[in-house]
Amino acid sequence: MSDDGVRPFHLHVSDAELTDLRDRLRRTRWPDAETSPGWSQGPPIGYLRELVRYWADEYDWRRVEAELNGHQQFLTEIDGLDVHFLHVRSPRADARPLVITHGWPGSVLEPLAVIDALTDPKSSDSPAFHVVAPSLPGFGFSGKPTGTGWGVRRTADAWAILMQRLGYDRCWAAGGDWGGRVTQSLATRHPDLVAGLHTYTPYPREPVERPGTLTELEGRWVADTRRFAQFGSGYSLQQSTRPQTVAYALADSPVAQLAWMLDKIHAWTDHAGEVQDAVSGDQILDMATLYWLTDTGGSSARFYWENSPAGRSVEIVEVPAAITVFPADIEKFPRHWLEPTFPQLTSWSESERGGHFPALEVPTVYVAELRAAFGSMELEARR
């Protein structure tokens, strides 16, 4: 334990845990095959069988451990809960602190994919950042709450304590999914800390359609968002209302954990039918294995219960904000729907590629978006 309460964290999963995982995978009791072609009923059994075979026989978790341990990992207790985080400082003297928050079914593996490019860019003209990437409460290597109350706002307050504990009294903030909500809440609750934010999942307070004001593209965005709400949000309703029910399956079966996540990874990424055109099989298994080894299927699901209804955490964001729309994301809103929530919307970008996991799908694009957003905010602040 250091004087500031920050403890180094080194990851090593025992051989016994990995052997148990492989044994469980090889003893999977498979359901009947789907009766409708493709992914319309969920992950097809043929696709999942092959991915599970690779998981049991060839997949290398130690590669993930080495990558995480190759960066600086820490734990610190905040409000009675251990918070796990990556903290990688840039070698650049002009670097600015940046806190990046993941969502579900994500983890710190998302910011890890872009952390080197952000901390040590090849060009001296590109902004550099000291990156802090925490694991949400109940996710990954952070502690699991044993009582209620760990929602978006309490998490944002914990992030403010974390950044100040690390010596940062001013920072940028970024994130998507639940990480986007935490980022917005961090900015609204701690505007003296957050100089500006970037999100690719902005949440408006009350999106109201104005007849005749939508472009053709915006109309497709609204239709996509409504289609997701009608046909793609069953997982959210389950986790928001009965997280303990699904926790039994996720804690007992690695295939259940994989299928529960894979269904969303397939639906939320940018591809023409083959999910591995967006994220690799290894990346999918990295995500699922982290959830399995940490037994956080249930505790991460409870984050939905803690924040239901999700809209209650949306407040007016008074700090400078940047928004990137990725074409395959699940919820996309017209700019004029968002401007009342983000009155200092300084940057708006519509990417040509990418979905709900841009750090994994299009890392170069995502890094460029963060650099452009925060670089322009800093230039404006200097004027």
Respond yes or no: is residue 177 known to be catalytic: yes
Respond yes or no: is residue 356 known to be catalytic: yes
What is the per-residue pLDDT for 271?
A: 98
Which one is catalytic: 59, 102, 130, 177?
Answer: 177
CB 191 within 8 Å of CB 169: no
Which one is catalytic: 59, 200, 304, 366?
Answer: 304
State the pLDDT confidence band at 204, using cuts at 50, 70 and 90: confident
CATH number at residue 33: 3.40.50.1820
Quick check: is 72 in a domain? Answer: yes
**Segments forming the whole domain that contains residue 225:** 6-382
| 7-23 pLDDT tens trace | 999 999 999 999 999 99
Respond yes or no: is residue 23 known to be catalytic: no
Residue 329: alpha-carbon gap to chain centroid: 13
Quick check: is 224 in a domain? Answer: yes
Which one is catalytic: 84, 87, 190, 356?
Answer: 356
Quick check: is 213 in a domain? Answer: yes
Quick check: is 95 in a domain? Answer: yes
Quick check: is 336 in a domain? Answer: yes
Quick check: is 184 in a domain? Answer: yes
State the pLDDT confidence band at 206, using cuts at 50, 70 and 90: low
What is the per-residue pLDDT for 379?
A: 79
Statement: residue 1 has pLDDT above 50: no
| 33-70 pLDDT tens trace | 999 999 999 999 999 999 999 999 999 999 999 999 99
Domain count, the chain: 1
Quick check: is 1 in a domain? Answer: no
What is the per-residue pLDDT for 316?
A: 93
pTM exceeds 0.75, yes or no: yes
What is the per-residue pLDDT for 212?
A: 67
